[in-house]
Amino acid sequence: MSTLKKVEQLLSEMTRAEKVRLLQLIAHDLSDDVPGIERASDVCGGDPRIAGTRIPVWVLVQYKNLGADEADLLRAYPTLRAEDLANAWSYYRMHKEEIEEQIVENEAD
């Protein structure tokens, strides 16, 4: 059964409230605007970062690639919240090529 067929089947079983929440999740996933992620040309070289910090998304993704889990990251960066990491992962999913280029550029330095 295709994924789309599975979704169609699940939709028929969902309540109206669940369908509204699903639409919100889809809209958020398709949006280029990720809450909690910001850019400024004069901070972190303009790289996307956790809002209000100097922690670029690429740094968190690279630590995760190297085996760090979310608990490790929250210990390493005590000002971060689990929500910040979720926002970073969401941004990465939407801008994977950009973040991977930043990792390569910064690891080469």
So where are the chain's domains? 1-30, 35-108
Torsion sign across C-alpha atoms 18, 20, 24, 30: positive
Instruction: Print burial letters for 65-81: b (CB count within 10 Å at least 16), e (below 16).
Output: eeeeeeeebbeebeebe
- pLDDT score of 72 more than 70: yes
Q: What is the pTM of this model?
A: 0.70
Task: Please give the pLDDT value at position 67.
Answer: 96
Task: Please give the pLDDT value at position 32.
Answer: 61
Provide the token pair at 32: 């280029």
Task: Please give the pLDDT value at position 56.
Answer: 97
pLDDT (mean) for 56-74: 96
pLDDT (mean) for 30-51: 87
Task: Please give the pLDDT value at position 27.
Answer: 73
Q: Could you tell me if 88 and 60 are in contact, meaning their C-beta atoms sit under 8 angstroms apart? A: yes
CATH 1.10.10.10 assigned to domain 35-108? The reply is yes
